Structure 1
Amino acid sequence: MKFAKDRRRWHSWLFEAKKRFGLRILNYVVTSNHIHLLVIDSGPDVIPKSLQLIAGRTAQEFNHRKDRKGAFWEDRYHATAVERNEHLIRCLVYIDLNMVRAGVVSHPVEWEMNGYNEIQNPPERYGVIDMSGLRNLCGFTDPEQFAEQHRQWVHEAINNGKNQRESCWTESIAVGSSGFIEETKAKLGIKAAGRRIAEQQEDRFVLKEEHAPYNAGFRNQMGLLSPENSYFLDVSLLDFAS
Structure 2
Amino acid sequence: MPRQARVIVPGLPHHIVQRGHNRQAVFIEEQDYAYYLSNLREWKQALDLKVYSYCLMTNHVHLVVGANDELTAIPQLMKRLAARQTRYVNAMERRSGSLWEGRYKVSAIDTDEYLLSCCRYVELNPVKARMVVCAEDYPWSSYAARTGRQRASWLDEPPTYSALAGSPSERAAIYEKFVSDTTQSSADSLISSAVASNKLTGGSRFIDEVERRTGIRVEMRRPGRPRKEF
> Which residue in 2 is equivalent to 1:13?
39
> Which residue in 2 is equivalent to 1:217?
none
Cα distance in 1, alignment partners of residues 138 and 62 from structure 2: 14
> Which residue in 2 is equivalent to 1:81?
108
- Give how far 1:78 is off: 1.4
Cα distance in 1, alignment partners of residues 125 and 211 from structure 2: 28
Cα distance in 2, alignment partners of residues 40 and 23 from structure 1: 6
Report the secondary structure of 1:26's partner residue: strand
Equivalent of residue 63 in structure 1, options 62, 83, 90:
90
Q: CA offsets, 1:209-241, max 9 Å, x none? A: xxxxxxxxxxxxxxxxxxxxxxxxxxxxxxxxx
Cα distance in 1, alignment partners of residues 145 and 196 from structure 2: 23
Are residue 120 (structure 1) and residue 143 (structure 2) matched? no
What letter corresponds to residue 93 of structure 1 in structure 2?
R
Cα distance in 2, alignment partners of residues 87 and 62 from structure 1: 34
> Which residue in 1 is equivalent to 2:174?
149
Q: Is the 8 A contact 1:2 1:33 kept in 2?
A: no
Cα distance in 2, alignment partners of residues 175 and 101 from structure 1: 20
Q: Aligned pair in 2 of structure 1 residues 164, 19: CA closer, same or farther (>3 Å)?
A: closer
Unaligned residue ranges in structure 2 (runs of 5+): 1-26
> Which residue in 2 is equivalent to 1:99?
126
- Give how far 1:40 is off: 0.7
Is the strand fraction higher in 1 or 2? 1
Unaligned residue ranges in structure 1 (runs of 5+): 205-242
Residues 7-16 or 66-75, more deviating? 66-75
Report the secondary structure of 2:53's partner residue: strand
Are residue 168 (structure 1) and residue 194 (structure 2) matched? yes
Q: Is the 8 A contact 2:52 2:155 kept in 1?
A: yes
- Give how far 1:144 is off: 1.6
- Give how far 1:139 is off: 4.6
How many residues are matched? 197
- Give how far 1:51 is off: 1.9
Q: CA offsets, 1:69-112, max 9 Å, x none? A: 11111222211010011311211111111111111111111111
Cα distance in 1, alignment partners of residues 204 and 43 from structure 2: 33
Cα distance in 2, alignment partners of residues 202 and 132 from structure 1: 21
- Give how far 1:196 is off: 2.6
Equivalent of residue 220 in structure 2, options 197, 216, 219:
197
- Give how far 1:200 is off: 4.4
Q: Which has the higher contact order (CA 8 A, sep 6+)?
A: 1
Q: CA offsets, 1:139-185, max 9 Å, x none? A: 544322211111010112x2x45497632343342011321111223
Are residue 182 (structure 1) and residue 208 (structure 2) matched? yes
Q: Is the 8 A contact 1:27 1:92 kept in 2?
A: yes
Q: Is the 8 A contact 1:25 1:129 kept in 2?
A: yes
Q: Aligned pair in 2 of structure 1 residues 134, 70: CA closer, same or farther (>3 Å)?
A: farther
Q: Is the 8 A contact 1:23 1:39 kept in 2?
A: yes
